[in-house]
């Protein structure tokens, strides 16, 4: 389940679909107004829209993979189309209007990232088949915001494990009652992070480079749900996977 939080108290978005072919498709201007004096980098934005009508009228395909979101300079941004809204990630300046553009009828993308929305997160129900035990792996390919902040959890299963920002530029994978892996000196950006445990050792790799290793720790079996990407730690995620031995 994806839980989203709209930021309408801070920002307002408007959109007009123009019936003028552009790049062999159509375009819509999305104007985001910031009025609280805050600037944002890679802010997850969302706009409610009637996606079904766009499909039936032939503006987009049912998958939405033929769409693009750009900034005013036509730089393509991460975005996602769901049943009732459009989500994307972009920079927003304080006390200003920022323009984004939705293009349709483009060459189909292979996939879209997951964008939980500002303040949103993803939950996975507790399942015996997902309990890590003592041999497991986790993999995430995403933009990681590693600035300091409270409860910036990439992965959280209460009383079992956490993978979160523990200081500015620092990510920690911690097994409750067991060992931890720490990556420090990081800069916010897109990276692929893998955590492995083979029953003897556990280690973390970032972009195929090992950054920490310790003795293996089995993850406690708890009834808590999995919560992912909390408190804007990953504005967009292209891949998440977890593997266990069953």
With respect to residue 112, please indicate whether it lies within any of the assigned structural domains. Answer: no
Distance CA 211, CA 127 (A): 30
Is the residue at 110 inside a domain? no
Same domain as 215, residue 169: yes
pLDDT for the residue numbered 24 = 56
pTM of the model: 0.88
Considering the domain boundaries, does residue 115 fall inside one? no
**Residue 191 domain-assigned?**
yes
For residues 155 and 222, state if they share a domain. Answer: yes
Same domain as 128, residue 19: no
Which residues span the domain enclosing 54? 2-103
In a domain, 111, yes or no: no
C-alpha separations of 136 from 161, 202, 217, 243 in Å: 12, 9, 10, 5
Q: What is the pLDDT of residues 128-148, one digit of tens each?
A: 999 999 999 999 999 999 999
Give the end of a domain, one of 103, 133, 152: 103
Instruction: Kindly state whether residues 40 and 135 are assigned to the same domain.
Output: no
Residue ranges in the chain whose pLDDT is less than 50: 1-22
For residue 185, the domain's CATH number is 2.60.120.200
The gap between the terminal CA atoms of the chain, to the nearest Å, is 24
What pLDDT score does 199 carry? 96
Structurally, the chain folds into a number of domains equal to 2
Instruction: Please give the Cα distance from 35 to 98 (Å, whole number).
Output: 11
Give a yes or no: residue 128 inside a domain.
Answer: yes
Domain CATH number, residue 73? 2.60.40.1180
């Amino acid at each position: 389940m994806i839980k989203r939080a709209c930021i309408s108290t801070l920002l307002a978005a408007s959109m007009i679909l123009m019936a003028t072919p552009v790049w062999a498709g159509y375009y819509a201007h999305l104007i985001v107004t910031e009025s609280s004096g805050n600037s944002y980098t890679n802010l997850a934005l969302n706009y409610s829209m009637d996606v079904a009508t766009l499909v039936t009228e032939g503006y987009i395909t049912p998958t939405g993979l033929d769409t693009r979101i750009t900034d005013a300079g036509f730089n393509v941004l991460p975005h996602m189309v769901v049943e009732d809204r459009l989500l994307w990630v972009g920079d927003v300046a304080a006390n200003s209007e920022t323009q984004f553009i939705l293009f349709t009828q483009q060459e189909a993308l292979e996939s879209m990232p997951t964008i939980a929305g500002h303040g949103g997160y993803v939950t996975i129900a507790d399942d015996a088949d997902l309990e890590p035990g003592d041999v497991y792996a986790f993999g995430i390919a995403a933009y990681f915001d590693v600035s300091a902040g409270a409860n910036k959890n990439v992965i959280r299963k209460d009383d079992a494990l956490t993978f979160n920002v523990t200081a500015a530029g620092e990510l920690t994978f911690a097994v409750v009652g067991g060992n931890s892996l720490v990556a420090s000196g990081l800069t916010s950006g897109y990276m692929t992070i893998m955590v492995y445990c083979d029953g003897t050792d556990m280690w973390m790799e970032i972009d195929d480079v090992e950054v920490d290793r310790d003795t293996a720790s089995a993850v406690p079996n708890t009834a808590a749900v999995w919560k992912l990407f909390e408190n804007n730690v990953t504005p967009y995620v292209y891949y998440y996977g977890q593997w266990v031995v069953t």
